[in-house]
Structure 1
Amino acid sequence: MTQELTPYHKLVKSLSKDDIFERFPDVIPLERTTGEKRSDSDYEKTTDVVGSSSLFAGHDEEQIRLMAENCIVLDYNDIPIGSGTKKLCHIMKNIEKGLLHRAFSVFLFDSQNRLLLQQRADEKITFPQMWTNTCCSHPLCVPSELGFSMDSMNGTNIHSLDTAIRGVKSAAVRKLKHELGIEPEYVPASNFKFLTRIHYMSPSNGGWGEHEIDYILFVKSDGKVQANPNEVKAYKYVSAEELKEMFKCKDLKFTPWFKLICESYLFDWWKHINKLDDCTSTTINRML
């Protein structure tokens, strides 16, 4: 029996490329994207929400600066259509109107098959202080993280799943270094295993939220962790049983995407950590 779509799911599914550009005039069409990060001054001038600067009141300057990064704006089918600042993509009023972007979640296991968790820093604008998987972030709207060159924009294969996976793996290497200080030599892109994609939406605090198609990546590494305190408050390696015990603790809070992945997939994947080819899927798992 087919499950009826929620009103929000129906909205997101109904939006055409033209609809998205009409609703969100600050989204830059992909063919006009330069592949360069928008300047901080440009991002301060965005008109996505009147008075949106108040959303930054009391927040950390470095985290505010990172809101100028350009995320990959998607249609319902995970096709990149343009770029939008991290700020634009995470304002809940935009999310409620259907704005969708690409993300990735890394699950890093050591040689003992323990999962590396992080607790997000107090400084984080969205979901601060929450425990989550090893690294959760966004590929930038640049050639290396889109997975293709800007010169091939008129090509026929630039929007394939393979190119997208290549792009998010490149982004994962970058962010593991940025957040956890793990050197790229210990987590080369070729070592990551893509499992599936999760499409979810969740509000955060203070007018922010997430609406992402999230690429799930597994990697094994014993690379040294040197956490960035502006990104990571704490970290720890856990077994599957230890993670289950953490979920029982009412004092601990977890990010919504991590809870969704754990409830639906993680522990089964974990059992098959050495046979992940049996766990991969090209389907977008809709959790709206």
Structure 2
Amino acid sequence: MSARTDPDGPVEQVVLLDESGQAIGAADKARVHHADTPLHLAFSCYVFDDAGRILLTQRALGKRTFPGVWTNSCCGHPGPGEPLEQAVRRRLDQELGLEVGELDLVLPGFRYRAAMQGVVENEMCPVLVTRTTARPAPNPDEVEDVVWVPWAEFRTSVLDGTREISPWCALQVRALPEDPWAAPARPTSELPPALH
């Protein structure tokens, strides 16, 4: 992953986007999220097990954005020049110590904006699904807790509003196919131009 160097070590950067999804620059991840967050590139990943359960994660209480909120398995930001699949696998390892199988693209053009406690997320955020047989080993700096939930139960509880979940996850569940694992993968040509 590309990162700017700093006397204290590498600084993780995110890719800034214009309204068409073209890259227009980069910004330090630690400084990009505020009350007027610029549009930038991200991703969300949903990890399933062989029983069809989804891995839900609770964001660490010390995170600057959406601390303690339950959400999908993993979220992150590709760095400048970093391929999407490489970024997803990097974050799954960093956050959950997970190795996964094939990554399937299910919502290539997903975009959202959400705010909490004065901090805004503003992202073009492709959504992928994958499977694992491994047991997660959460990084406490990133993840407070994890739980496996049957997908149908999870989907129903999100759609009927009985499950508290991150705003982006709620929007994604509404946009995902009823059975995202069985749905055909979408072509990478539908990704934002910055990922081509």
- Which interval holds the TM-score relative to the shorter structure? 0.7 to 0.9
Q: Distance in 1 between matches of 2:125 and 2:153?
A: 25
> TM-score of the superposition, structure 1-length normalised?
0.59
Deviation at 1:273, TM superposition (A): 2.1
Residues of 2 paired with 1:111 and 1:71: CA distance? 33
Aligned to 1:216: 127
Query: Which has the bigger relative contact order, CA under 8 A and spacing at least 6?
Result: 2
Residue of structure 1 equivalent to 2:110: 198
Q: Secondary structure of 2:78's partner?
A: coil
Query: Is structure 2 residue 24 aligned with structure 1 residue 81?
Result: yes
CA RMSD for the aligned pairs? 2.8
Q: Which has the larger share of helix?
A: 1
**Alpha-carbon distance in 1 for matches of 2:138, 2:35:** 29
Per-residue CA deviations over 1:49-91 (Å, capped at 9, x if unaligned) read xxxxxxxxxxxxxxxx99x421001111111121111133211
Q: For residue 120 of structure 2, what is the amino acid of its counterpart? A: G
Q: Secondary structure at the match of 1:92?
A: coil
Q: Distance in 2 between matches of 1:86 and 1:174?
A: 16
Aligned equivalent of 1:23? none
Please report how far the alpha carbon of residue 230 of structure 1 lies from its aligned counterpart in structure 2 after TM superposition.
1.5
User: Aligned match of 1:136 in 53, 56, 75?
Assistant: 75
Deviation at 1:203, TM superposition (A): 1.2
Q: SS where residue 69 of structure 1 aligns? A: strand
**Which residue number corresponds to residue 89 of structure 2?**
173
Larger Rg belongs to? 1
Contact 1:89 1:100 (C-alpha < 8 Å) held by counterparts = no
Identity of aligned residues (%): 30
* Structure 1 residues 86 and 278, CA gap change in structure 2 (3 angstroms): closer
Moved more, 240-249 or 78-87: 240-249
2:184 maps to: 276
Q: Report if aligned partners of 2:158, 2:170 keep a CA contact under 8 Å in 1.
A: no
Q: Take 2:187 and 2:180, find their aligned partners in 1: how far apart are those partners?
A: 8
2:137 is the alignment partner of 1:230? no
Query: Which has more strand, going by share of residues?
Result: 2
The answer as to whether partners of 1:168 and 1:215 remain within 8 angstroms in 2 is no
Partners of 1:124 and 1:40 lie apart in 2 by: 23
Q: CA deviation at 1:124?
A: 1.0
Give the CA deviation at 1:112: 1.1
Q: How does 1:1-288 map to 2 (within 5 A)?
A: 35-39=2-6, 68-93=11-36, 95=37, 99-141=38-80, 143=81, 145=82, 167-183=83-99, 186-187=100-101, 191-196=102-107, 197-205=109-117, 207-243=118-154, 244-245=156-157, 253-262=164-173, 264-266=174-176, 269-271=177-179, 273-277=181-185, 282=190
1:230 maps to amino acid: D
Count of matched residue pairs: 190
The answer as to whether partners of 1:74 and 1:100 remain within 8 angstroms in 2 is: yes
